[in-house]
Amino acid sequence: MTTTMTTDNSGDVRLCGIGKTYGAFTAVHPLDLTVPQGSFFALLGASGCGKTTTLRMIAGLEQPTSGTVHLGDQDVTHLPPYKRPVNTVFQSYALFPHLDIFENVAFGLRRRGVKSVKKQVEDMLELVQLGEQARKKPHQLSGGQQQRVAVARALINHPKVLLLDEPLGALDLKLRRQMQLELKRIQTEVGITFIHVTHDQEEAMTMADTVAVMNGGRVEQLGAPTDLYENPKTTFVANFLGTSNLIEAEVDTRDGEDVVVRAGGDKLVLPAARCSAPAPAGGKVLVGIRPEKIALVHADDAGAVPQGRNRLTGKIADASFIGVSTQYVIDSPACAGLSVYVQNVERDARLVPGADVVLHWSPAHTFGLDATQA
Ligand code: ATP
């Protein structure tokens, strides 16, 4: 079944300077954010960073201290939740235990006085792949199935925007991964705006087209998952999204295209376009490289490293085989006590703790961050 609920811009969400304070404490600093109709948007951040408060201001469950909330062309800042074309799915499924699945989903329609609910409920149960379970009670379903009922129930009244507040938080890891793909499929089918709150970076990156990384009540960076991962602009974003090697270095030369830095005795190159640090020659910079972008060879094979690669020498401190790859911790003199993490798919029996190695990677995969913000 393909249910296209809307094709206009009524599912655009625009936050203009909305902020929230509780007494002297600022939970959300005034923020501007636009979520286009039909997108899958994630608010990602650690506990207490203000993502639920932001979501609740969109839902109307929390009144902003400043700013306005717009849905499509309408300013809804002062509308109560039930008058907004928005629905919310919470981590606790909040299903009615005494009603069967069909009636749980039909509830919103019946409350609005809709007489013939059968076809709509059946279509919705089909959408969430629970057509066979209609006459079961919630306690007879798994956690993932119950969460799908909660999604069906939230979608039955055709909201323009669905808000999801850590909806998968109560599920075990395997089910969580399945439900991430499931929610993504449902969003693609219904075509409405989904705004999803999570503290799980992998979840946000798997599901969302756009992710806002929040920290301390502010959006620290906004972008497509690949862009955030490959071009983090702050140390917080670099560290929150996966493992990052951040190597302290000093800018040697900087021209239009390249920044050349010194890390200990080694020179490293990175594209100027990927260096968000303003550091001029002589300034400090943090050079970032993701573990899986680094190739590792035994020191005896150093001569085979191609020209033009960034390279560091080091010694293997630890090696852990994790199935698809091996994770290494490398002590490198250039990193002044910092360990470099490498994730390598190639196997080489000589790459064991104590071995002298050369790490090398493409300058194109290197990014530069402002060392003063760390
Ligand atoms: P979590 O993932 O733990 O739910 P979050 O990022 O969603 O965290 P919020 O729930 O938005 O964070 O809370 C942001 C900050 O505002 C927190 O420090 C929280 O303690 C505070 N806060 C939230 N609601 C209130 C309230 N009603 N009164 C006072 N402080 C509040």
Domains observed in the chain: 13-235 (3.40.50.300), 243-373 (2.40.50.100)
pLDDT of residue 374: 54
ipTM: 0.96
Distance 295 CA to ligand 1 centre (A): 42
DSSP 8-state assignment for residue 214 = E
3-state secondary structure of 228: helix
Give the atom of ligand 1 at the shortest distance from the alpha carbon of 25: 30
Ligand 1 in contact with 19 (CB < 6 A)? Answer: no
Q: C-alpha angle 206/210/211, rounded to 5°?
A: 75
pLDDT of residue 223: 97
Q: In terms of pTM, does the model score above 0.90?
A: no
pLDDT of residue 335: 67
Give the atom of ligand 1 at the shortest distance from the alpha carbon of 197: 7
Distance 273 CA to ligand 1 centre (A): 36
How long, in residues, is the chain?
374
Q: C-alpha angle 224/226/231, rounded to 5°?
A: 95
pLDDT of residue 256: 78
3-state secondary structure of 186: helix
Distance 96 CA to ligand 1 centre (A): 27
Distance 214 CA to ligand 1 centre (A): 13
Written as tens digits, the pLDDT of the chain (374 aa) is 445 554 578 889 999 999 999 999 999 999 999 999 999 999 999 999 999 999 999 999 999 999 999 999 999 999 999 999 999 998 887 899 999 999 999 999 998 898 889 999 999 999 988 999 999 999 999 888 999 999 999 999 899 999 999 988 878 888 889 889 999 999 999 999 999 999 999 999 999 999 999 999 999 999 999 999 999 999 999 999 988 889 999 999 888 789 999 988 889 999 999 998 887 888 899 999 998 899 899 999 999 999 999 999 999 998 888 887 888 899 887 765 566 777 777 778 899 999 999 999 999 999 999 988 75
Burial class (CB in 10 A: 0-12, 13-18, 19+), 23: exposed
Match 């190159």 to its residue by tokens. Answer: 269
pLDDT of residue 18: 97
pLDDT of residue 1: 47
pLDDT of residue 9: 84
pLDDT of residue 339: 67
